[in-house]
Amino acid sequence: MSTQDKCGMHLDLERVTLKDGRSVTIRPVCRKDGELEKSLIEGLSPESRRDRFIGGSCKASEKLIELLTDNDHEQHEAFIAVDESGDKPRAVAVANYALDDDGRACECAVVVSDDWQHEGLGRIMLQQLIDVARARGIEIMYSIESADNIKVKKFAHAMGFVCKADPRDYTLLTYTLDLQPEEAPIGLIQQHQRPAMQSQ
């Protein structure tokens, strides 16, 4: 599905149904998504907020929202999942990457609203990001996480990321995914296919 969004951008929309039957619309983030992103961040549990913004005290400041909605499709890429079943749209997940200066690697982040976790949405969002980064020729996707973040450990492993300790800081782990392997192992390709969800 494709449409013109409220920012006047031409958007490719994807409607997906999750494991529990709820549906969301996934599309690229645009400037006018600030309020949606702010509500998502402010509605996170302290644990999810701590895991997303290492340390956890992060406020949804104007500066942060400006950064998160700066989707130029070159240095930054971002996708948002919107639940449109209520009175007004609600953002329930965001995935984004920022390209390193060398243009070869990008740092990614994903967050799913607590009441939407464990339904496969994180995986769909990250896969969307991986597909776009890979198509753009970016070589490596990585994320630096707190070693305490158990959820992300399993999640990143399931997505094919390799985990390494940070030799400078034992409280941190770096997860890395080779986006352009010479030969992608078949198991990994299958693992990266969308989970058993209906794309409408």
Ligand X SMILES: CC(C)(COP(=O)(O)OP(=O)(O)OC[C@H]1O[C@@H](n2cnc3c(N)ncnc32)[C@H](O)[C@@H]1OP(=O)(O)O)[C@@H](O)C(=O)NCCC(=O)NCCS
Residue located via tokens 């039957």: 21
Helices (H), 20-82: 34-42, 46-52, 62-68
Nearer to ligand X (CB atom), residue 59 or residue 154: 154
Exposed/middle/buried for 135, CB within 10 Å: 0-12, 13-18, 19+? Answer: exposed
> How far is it, in rounded angstroms, from Cα 112 to Cα 10?
25
**Stretch of 32-40, 55-63, 147-155, 177-185 lying at the interface with ligand X (CB under 6 A):** 147-155
Nearer to ligand X (CB atom), residue 3 or residue 131: 131
Which residues, numbered 29-68, are part of the site for ligand X (CB under 6 A)? 48, 51-52
155 binds ligand X, rule: CB under 6 A: yes
192 binds ligand X, rule: CB under 6 A: no
Minimum CB separation of residue 151 from ligand X in Å reads: 4
How many residues of this chain bind ligand X (CB under 6 A)?
A: 22
Q: How far does the chain reach from its first CA to its final CA, in angstroms?
A: 9
**Of the candidates 26, 82, 91, 110, which one interacts with ligand X according to CB under 6 A?**
110
**Stretch of 63-71, 97-105, 119-127, 185-193 lying at the interface with ligand X (CB under 6 A):** 119-127
> How far is it, in rounded angstroms, from Cα 77 to Cα 71?
5
Nearer to ligand X (CB atom), residue 27 or residue 123: 123
DSSP one-letter code for 84: -
